[in-house]
Each structure stands twice: as structure tokens, then as C-alpha cells.
Structure 1
């Protein structure tokens, strides 16, 4: 039996959703070229897991600026893309034929309307992960794939983990007003992620660890994270100038271990890809 939601938990969900929406609204014009380019390294795998091809009716949730949905259109899929942030919907509309402003959970679609559903790094940003999975299962045809990704542990996902390490080594305190934890945090392991999909009504669940390398100039990656993430950037933006300088010094020292001869760094990236089947 599900544990009843308390008033505090409900308020935390509301506050977290607002924190995310306002943060992504400010980054709608700067996300794609920096951090979005790194996340795109997983798009091919997500589309393959979903079985996307000509004529497939695909729903993408949390589409951001539309990179993944655009790739699906290129494969011949019939795509409906959604995002909860109006500014992201506007950006995605530059690339895509149909973008809908929609919350997850709370999708404005009838049951069994799509052959598959995909969410690239969105489940870790929603206020109620269980309800979100149930909503995706609802709108996906029986037997259709629901494919979701989240980041792996920071010890493996060094492209992001290096920022948290730099903050810690600089002795920086957590800025006031940040959410303590994302609602998804308890599900951020392969076993727990699989359990989340099963609790949300999916069957045949599998979770895969996927890694790739993101090559980028260290200065550019610093700017990409500050202008293309919400929580990670807030850990730095909320500091005074001397503290930001200390964090940057530690970041430069830490990223030097991945330095390439051309001046870039080869950053290890790691994610979890979860796949389940709707039962209708």
C-alpha cells in the first residue's frame, strides 16, 4: 500500500515544481548549445529502445528545445512533444511541427494514444515520479515502450560530479532556499529506478547503465553548466564572488585530469536508461 502523502510532502512537491519551472524558463535560450549538446549523446539509444521508426506515434515529455523529438521526426515518426515550461515550448516550436505545453503528471491526452513514450532526463525533474510513470503508462498502448533516463551516480557521471566536488573542496556552503532533495532522489539507482517503473504499472522492466564521453573546452563546459542546469548551477550562483573564484579554481584543477592535447577535456558521462511496457 502506498504511503499517504503528508502536507509537508505535498508542499515540497509544489515548491520543487516551481523551482524547476522558473529555473528552466531562465535557461530556455542557453540550454541547447551547451548542456543540451551533452545530453544528446543518449538520444539515439533512447529512440532505439522505444522502437522509433516510420509511422510510429511517439510522445516525448520534457522535450526542452526539441533535439530528441527532431531526431525522431527524421526517423519518420509521428511526434507529439510536450514541456511544462512555456519558454521551452516556444524554443522547441522552432524545430517541431507540434509542441504542447503539458505537465507531467497531468498529460492532456487520451488513454492508449501513442505507440511509445520517451522522457530524456525529465523524470528526475518532476514533482511526483510515481504519478508521472502512471501517466505515461496510461497514454501508451498496451505493449508499447515507456523509456526514461536519469543521471547515474556522480562518481560515474563525472561531467556533472566535478562541479559538486569543486563546491565541496572550496568549502562552499549550500545556498539558502534550494530544495533539499528532488522527489526522484530515492529512485536514482538501477534497482530503485526499476521499482519505480513497476510501481507505475509497467511490466518487463529493464534498467541499463550507459556511458559516453563528452569532449568540450573546460571554459565552455563551465559556462554550459551555469547556463544549462538548474540545481547544479544554483549551488554556484548563490555564492559570493570570492567563493565562486575558489570553486572555479578547484574545477580547473579537477578537470585537468581529463585534458586532451587539443585543449579540450574528455568528460565521462553516465546515465541510467529504464524501459518498461504499458499494460494499457
Structure 2
């Protein structure tokens, strides 16, 4: 898949999904926000760009620290959701941002690089908008997956789902190793110094219907798979999901889903 085709598929996949995301996977993605802001050195007065803000979780946390926050997202629905929560958000699409060079002290991107077709170009753009000495911090999902990350995919396989042909996949020339070394190397390629990355591991706790709701609502790649099936297949996927999810029950009416992500940071 070419970079342009990847981006087009991603944009279509997220259109109209802001509410479904907020009610399902948003809490999962919120987990590393404080660590992300710490890695970017965000404090009172920091001029911060939150790129790919989604529903505005990282931007709100930064505002609570006293940062001066500008937030952008490629999806107009996400921008509207962030604005409704009190975030000054606008629509903008990587790798071309409507800001001057050196405009920000810090940039954060929480699970954003995995949704752009040209991650190297995106990082170069984030480097451009940072002042010399400014800090970047980003998260992505790791190639080493937690067992909870595969639950919905296993349910799809067990239910006989046929993946649609238009799933977003990076062009080989734009791809990179989803490891600490691979992500840190990507930052270094873009000109960031002292670049480092490490793994984050946690058990995300969610209700059975909450976790299913993201997929059933068409959120992310797994949602694209589920919503492209016929009704009978969706029923089989749900049945398989309930059976497999029993292995993650935490004894208190929720699921404990192990996840692994990568957090990387560097200096412009």
C-alpha cells in the first residue's frame, strides 16, 4: 500500500468514530499520558503542541500542568470532541502542519505515528516546529504485544472473519521496527538528539461490552475488520469473544487486558 493510500484509508476509517472511540479505546490510550508529558518536559508555561489529540486527553492533562497548549487532529470529529472538553483544537494533517518553525517548546504525539503513512516525514515536521532544545515525546504500540491486545483479533479468527482487502498497511519503504531500538532510531534519523525509547506494560481494565464496543463501533483496524463482516459472522465473533474473554476476567466484573507500548523522546 502506498503512503497516500495508507493515509486515505486511515482518514476514512476514523471518520465518524470519535464517540465510539471515546466510549471504548480512549481510556486505554490515556494510560501513558502523564509519562508522555514528563518525557517532553511539560510544565507551567510550556508552549506545547499535542499532535493527533483525539478527544483531547493529553492536551487537557497538559493544561492542568499550566502549559499553553495547541492541539491538532486529522479528523474533524475528534477536533470537535476535544473542543467540547475545553481544548483549543484545530484540524491539521501530518506531515504538513500550519505552524512556523521553532514555534513550540515541546511536542507530544500519543499513539499517532502508527496512524500516518510517512512516519519519517511526520517526525521531520515535528522537529521543524520545535525550537532548538525543545522536546518531543511519542508513543506507539509495540511489536511485542500483550496478550490482551490480541483478544479481539483472536475472536475474529475464531468467528471466521475474512479481513477486508483495504486494511491500512505501511509501504515497506516507510515501515520501521516496532521496538525500542527501532523507534529511537527513527527519532535519531529525524534529527533528534539523545533519542531513547522504552517499553510500557500495563493491564488495562475494561468491561466486556466496553471493550467490544470499540470493535463493533468500527474503531481502528480491528473495527474495520469487524464491521466489514456479515451479520451472522459478527454474531460468531461476539460469541468467540465472550468465550475467550473469560480468561481475562479479573474477578470484579471486568477484564484485565495486558498491553505493551513504546514511549520515545528526544531533543530538537
TM-score in terms of structure 2 length: 0.93
Q: Write the distance in 2 (CA, Å) between the matches of 1:267 and 1:211.
A: 10
CA contact (8 A) 2:10 2:115 kept: yes
Contact 1:172–1:243 under 8 Å retained in 2: yes
| 1:54 equivalenced with 2:44 (yes/no) | yes
CA deviations on 1:93-116 (whole Å, 9 max, x unpaired) are: 112352121111101111111111
Which segments of 5 or more consecutive residues in structure 1 lack a partner in the other structure?
Answer: 1-8
Q: Within 5 Å, which residues of 2 pair with 1:206-245?
A: 206-227=196-217, 229-245=219-235
Asked whether the 8 Å contact 1:69–1:96 carries over to 2, the reply is no
Q: In the TM superposition, what whole-angstrom CA distance separates every residue of 1:228-268 from its partner, at most 9, and x where no partner exists? A: 62211111111122222222222222221111222211111
RMSD over aligned Cα atoms: 1.8
Aligned pair 1:167/2:147, yes or no? Answer: no
Give the aligned partner of residue 4 of structure 1.
none
Distance in 2 (CA, whole Å) between partners of 1:115 and 1:44 is 17
Tell me the number of residue pairs that the alignment of Structure 1 and Structure 2 aligns: 267
1:266 & 1:112 partners in 2: Cα distance? 42
Q: Name 2:167's counterpart in structure 1.
A: 178
Unaligned segments of structure 2, at least 5 residues: none
Deviation at 1:86, TM superposition (A): 1.5
Decide whether the 8 Å contact of 2:114 with 2:140 is kept in 1. Answer: yes
**Pair 1:115-2:131 in alignment:** no
> Could you tell me how far 1:222 is from its partner in structure 2?
0.5
Matched, 1:203 2:207: no
**Alignment of structure 1 residues 91-102 onto 2, 5 Å:** 91-102=81-92
* Displacement after TM superposition at 1:224 (Å): 2.6
